[in-house]
Amino acid sequence: MNKGFAILLGVLAAGLVAPAHAQNFPDHPIKIIVAYPAGGPTDATARVATQGLGAALGQSVVIENVAGAGGRMGTRDVARATPDGYTLLLGGTNDNAIAPALYSNLDYDPVKDFAPVAALATDSNALVVNPAVPVHSLAELVQYAKDHPGKLTSGSTIGIAPHLFLEFIRARTGIDMVFVPYKGAAPAIADVLGNQIQVHVSAKSVLLPLIQAGKLRALAVSSAERWPELPDVPTLRESGLDGFPTAIWFALMAPAATPPAVIAKLNTAENAVLKSASTQATIAKLGLETRVLSPQQLAAALANEAQLWKAVAKETGVHLE
C-alpha cells in the first residue's frame, strides 16, 4: 500500500473514531476521583453535586477517594488516566489553582494536564477553635497566642486553602502556632473536636453543623459577606485582614486530551443536575452555592483563581516540594 495513502486512511479513521466515541459515551461506569479522605468538604461536594449525574447520563457514576500528599496522589492519577471521559477529578481551587503557586517539581501539570468539564459549587472557609480555648475573636486569638507562645497547635491539609488561611494569619499578625499536617479535613476536624489541636480552618459545608451545635467556635470566615447562619461571626476582612480569596471552587476536571464532544456531554448533564430542585435544596443545606458554567467559563474562573492564590503564596512565603 502507498505510504501516503496509508497515512491518509489513518487520519480519516481517527476522525471517525472520536465522534463515534462521543456518540456512544458513556457505555460503562464513570469514576470520579476525590483526592482527599471521605467526610471532608471535597468529598461532601462530590457526593451531593454529582448525585444525579449517573441518571442524567444513563450510566452509573462511582466516587473513589484516593487520599494522600495533600491531594496530589489522586490528582496525579487523573492526569495520567486515559483521556476518554471515564475518569474525572473532583478538582478546582485546591488542586488546579493553588497547586501551581506552591509546587515547582510536580510530576504532572495541575493546569496543562487537565481540561475543565463543569463547575459544581463554591464554598468558603472558617477559622475555628476548640471551645476550651478562651478566645471569641481573631484579635483575642492573636493576643492569646502571643501571651502563650507554643501553647496553641493548628492543623489542616497541607498545600490547600485552609493551610494558606492559617499562613495568611501568621504572616499578617506575627503569631507562631505549631502546625500539624493532615491528609484531609475529616481527621483534622476529629482532632480539633478532641482538643488534640486547638485551631483549624475548613469549609462551611463540613464546619457549620459543628459550629451551630457549639462543638467548635468560629472566629472569622473567609467569604465576602458574613454567613447568614452565623450573623455574629465577622469576615476575615472585617477582622482587619484584607486580601484573602473569598471562595473555594469545586469542579469536575478531565485529563487534558479528552475529546471536546465528551466534555460537552458531561457539562450538559452536570449542569442539568445542578439546576434541578432536589440538588439545589441539598446544596443549600450544606451552605454551598451552585455554579453553572461552560467549560470555557470554568477555565477563565480557575485562571483568575490561580492569580489570587499566587499572590497569597508570595505574601506568606509558602513553597512546597
User: What mean pLDDT is predicted for residues 112-138?
Assistant: 98
Q: Output the average pLDDT for the chain.
A: 93
Whole-number Å distance between alpha carbons of 245 and 316: 13
Q: Does residue 15 carry a pLDDT above 90?
A: no
pLDDT of residue 179: 96
Domains observed in the chain = 3-123+248-316 (3.40.190.150), 125-221 (3.40.190.10)
What is the pLDDT confidence band of residue 321, given thresholds at 50, 70 and 90? confident
What is the pLDDT confidence band of residue 8, given thresholds at 50, 70 and 90? very low
pLDDT tens-digit readout, 258-288: 999 999 999 999 999 999 999 999 999 889 9
